[in-house]
């Protein structure tokens, strides 16, 4: 096993592991480089089955224990840690309806709409500048709040059956009130 990267710097396992641990075992090539791991050293660990490649520039520690929604972490890393899971994906994460989305929905900053992006397979991109109170961390991933998720699904014309179920579940679980939903819907319409 190599003790140093090609340029002679010493890799820092603790630094790599600490970063990956907060990201369900995933890390980027840039994070590995910052911890002293060259691309050649990463290739060695891939051949040794200690690291696996998820996508270009995104890797996972093989023996890291699985977590809830860990399949979303590499998508978030692909977004340069700027995306927030939203729409039907957020409803599913919050368990607010029986909706099982076939695709993952990710909201990126509005400035990203000018970029020519090729999202990972099965990912639908939305663009909006989300205010701080409209999303929160859920484990290793950022997710739109239940109220924001319902509003997104309403504006995206998701089946009324699922939206009504999400509203009823959200109100019943005290995640938001019907008055808060009406006020947020009015504010959303007036800002459009």
DSSP 8: S
- For residue range 56-82, list pLDDT tens digits in order: 999 999 999 988 899 999 999 999 999
Domain boundaries, the chain: 13-61, 70-191
Could you give the C-alpha distances from 33 to 12, 13, 14, 64, 120, in angstroms and in order? 10, 11, 13, 20, 23
Identify the pLDDT of residue 68.
Answer: 85
pTM reported for the whole predicted model: 0.87
All residue ranges of the chain with pLDDT < 50 are 1, 5
Percent of the chain at pLDDT above 70? 95
Between CA 168 and CA 37 the distance in angstroms is 49
């Amino acid at each position: 096993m190599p003790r140093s990267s090609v340029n002679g710097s010493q890799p820092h396992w603790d630094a790599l592991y600490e970063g990956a641990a907060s990201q369900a075992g995933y890390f980027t090539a840039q994070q590995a480089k910052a911890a002293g791991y060259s691309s050649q050293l990463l290739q060695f660990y891939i051949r040794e089955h200690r690291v696996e490649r998820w996508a270009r520039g995104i890797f996972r520690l093989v023996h890291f224990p699985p977590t809830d929604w860990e399949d979303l972490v590499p998508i978030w890393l692909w977004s340069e840690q700027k995306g927030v899971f939203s729409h039907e994906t957020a409803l599913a994460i919050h368990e607010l309806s029986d909706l099982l989305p076939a695709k993952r929905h990710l909201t990126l900053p509005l400035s990203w709409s000018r970029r020519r992006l090729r999202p990972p397979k099965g990912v639908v991109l939305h663009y909006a500048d989300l205010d701080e109170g409209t999303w929160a961390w859920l484990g290793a991933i950022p997710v739109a709040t239940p109220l924001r998720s319902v509003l997104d699904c309403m504006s995206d014309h998701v089946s009324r059956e699922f939206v009504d179920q999400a509203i009823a579940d959200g109100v019943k679980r005290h995640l938001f009130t019907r008055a808060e939903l009406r006020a947020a819907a009015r504010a959303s319409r007036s800002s459009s």
